Structure 1
Amino acid sequence: MNQIDIADLDCVYLTYDEPKKEENWVKIRNMIPWARRVDGVKGSDAAHKAAADASTTERFVLIDGDNIPDAKFFNQTLEFPTEDYESAVFRWKARNAINGLMYGNGGLSSWTQQYVQNMNTHENTDGRTETQVEFCFDPLYWPMHDCYSTTYPNGSAFHAWRAGFREGVKMCLNRGARPTLAEFKDQVHQRNLDHLTIWHNIGADVEYGYWAMAGARQGTYMTMLTNWDYLQVQNFDALAELWKTVESEQPEILANRIADDLHTQLDLPMHMLTVEASEFFKRHYRSNWHNQGVMVREIDVIRQQEGW
């Protein structure tokens, strides 16, 4: 069995416009003195290719600009029992500081240069539905079970709104495609619906949390209840223009204006929790979480839980 100590891999800190990217860079360099950085590359596909080019090791670790890792992660060893492990991408969970969710969004990941150089996604899509807004549908892109970082996507009102908006869009999709209203509940994965509901309603206790909830609701509304081109979710320039149409509004008013339509037409619960209730939820949501091992895949845990 091949093994690699994570401390022997290059770590690339990938930043774009995150308000605290310089502050976070200081923290990351103190934690990971060998870390490298790529900044300001437009487009998800292009940015990942730039990160791969910056690495001097074939496999490397990627850290997003609004993510703070757990230092314990870098004491782990990656094990490759079969050939597919050698070429796979690993995406570990992150805990979201806005709403407490724990899933791959914003989390640490490990890629190979070959994988990144061969992929065509987002702005460089090859036209397949699965590649236009996500990386995650490739069979060698593996969600992992453990959580090794915290993501802080609420660095400003705009960033919180954009983070919520993008998840409000993507959680509605079925493998990157927009379902019809009639298909929505049957085709969207139940876990995505659960995450979507939490994005819609949790976060009043943190700075700009109301903007994250408003963005999530608006993203869902525009995807499912208008003719807006949902593929624009990967276009940060288009999202910046859309932000200009709402930035002068009160986020609670914006969120509640579309709540009835989301509830009546999509049967989504619209119960924005108070500051105290949001704090309570996050304190107890997955409070008994335990990591099971850096190489444990999410699919293996699900199979075990469901008795596959």
Structure 2
Amino acid sequence: MSDFDAVMLSYDEPIADRLHARLQRVLGTRVKRLHGVQGMRRAYRLAAEVTDSEQFLLADGDFVIATEFDLGSVAPLAEGVAMRVWRARNPLNGLIYGYGGLKLIRRSALRQLGDAVDVLAALPGRAEFVADVAGTTRINQSPYHAWKAGFRECAMLARGSEYGMDDGEATDRIKAWTDGAEGEYAEYATAGAREGIAFAAEAAHFPHLFDQLNDPAWLFSRFTAGHAEQAVAG
């Protein structure tokens, strides 16, 4: 039996119930769940309050854990490390990196979150990124969710990674998001990625606008303003 708790954070993902059940089955333990919490920073802070262990696994509501993931082999975080991130596959553009990946995180670090657009980049302590792939980030559960994934990620990449990613790597990832993709609702992810870059250029002169990337109501309004008819037709 692992000493780590596990928590899923979901908001409005259509298949989150199934992914939560899968997470419990693969990990072989109960996975606590926070659903529909308004405000990303608030949701992460609440996650720290529902766990009973100082270090715990944290999964998003669109994370499909790989069946071979072995909870028993997970080592505790080293001193000074606030979070470990396993990589995830993007089913639309083939990218494999930390975006949407499984995390092992310190409860005490979440209680001290600073200010950052990418909320977990504000943890006090070092982030550790490992090469192992823990699953798939199922961003394409609907046209809106695919669009939102591309929009938020490329807006943040275009703004400049808060994890210290070099410009060349960020450029390569943006290219993969914007070049087109294959799979269900792929066109929405591509459109969102291109629109996210445009948004980053607009917001560069008004940095506070980047906070809108963590506002679900604003994101949905932005999507429906440009894509509602296509989404319904599709």
Q: TM-score by structure 2 length?
A: 0.86
> Equivalent residue for 1:73?
70
CA RMSD of aligned residues (A): 2.3
2:193 equivalent to 1:216: yes
Offset from partner CA, 1:34-92 (integer Å, 9 cap, x none): 21111111112111111111111111000111001124231313155x5324xx21111
SS of the residue aligned with 2:121?
Answer: coil
List aligned pairs for 1:173-188, cutoff 5 A: 173-175=159-161
Q: Is the 8 A contact 1:167 1:219 kept in 2?
A: yes
SS of the residue aligned with 1:41?
Answer: coil
2:157 equivalent to 1:171: yes
List aligned pairs for 1:1-308, cutoff 5 A: 7-32=2-27, 33-71=29-67, 72-79=69-76, 83-85=79-81, 88-120=82-114, 125=115, 131-136=116-121, 139-175=125-161, 189-203=167-181, 205-224=182-201, 229-248=209-228, 250=230
Q: Separation in 1 of the partners of 2:64 and 2:201?
A: 33
Q: TM-score by structure 1 length?
A: 0.67
Q: Is the 8 A contact 1:95 1:102 kept in 2?
A: yes
Q: Separation in 1 of the partners of 2:121 and 2:95?
A: 18
Distance 1:200 1:175, change over 3 A: closer
Look up the equivalent residue of 1:24 and give its one-letter code: L
| Superposition deviation, residue 172 in structure 1 | 0.4
| Superposition deviation, residue 8 in structure 1 | 2.3
| Superposition deviation, residue 215 in structure 1 | 0.5
Look up the equivalent residue of 1:132 and give its one-letter code: V
Offset from partner CA, 1:117-175 (integer Å, 9 cap, x none): 1113xxxx3xxxxx133423655122222211111011000000000111120110224
Q: Separation in 1 of the partners of 2:161 and 2:22?
A: 36
Query: How many residues end up aligned between the 2 structures?
Result: 223
| Superposition deviation, residue 244 in structure 1 | 1.6
Distance 1:199 1:175, change over 3 A: closer
Distance 1:116 1:246, change over 3 A: same
Q: Is the 8 A contact 2:20 2:31 kept in 1?
A: no
Q: Is the 8 A contact 1:98 1:152 kept in 2?
A: no
Q: Separation in 2 of the partners of 1:83 and 1:230?
A: 32
Deviates more, 1:107-116 or 1:41-50: 41-50
Unpaired segments ≥5 residues, structure 2: none
Deviates more, 1:88-97 or 1:154-163: 88-97
Q: Separation in 1 of the partners of 2:103 and 2:48?
A: 12
Deviates more, 1:187-196 or 1:157-166: 187-196
Unpaired segments ≥5 residues, structure 1: 126-130, 177-186, 252-308
SS of the residue aligned with 1:172?
Answer: helix
Offset from partner CA, 1:2-51 (integer Å, 9 cap, x none): xxx8x321111111111111121222222233211111111121111111
Matched-pair identity in %: 28
> Equivalent residue for 1:269?
none
SS of the residue aligned with 1:98?
Answer: coil
Q: Separation in 2 of the partners of 1:248 and 1:175?
A: 30
| Superposition deviation, residue 188 in structure 1 | 6.4
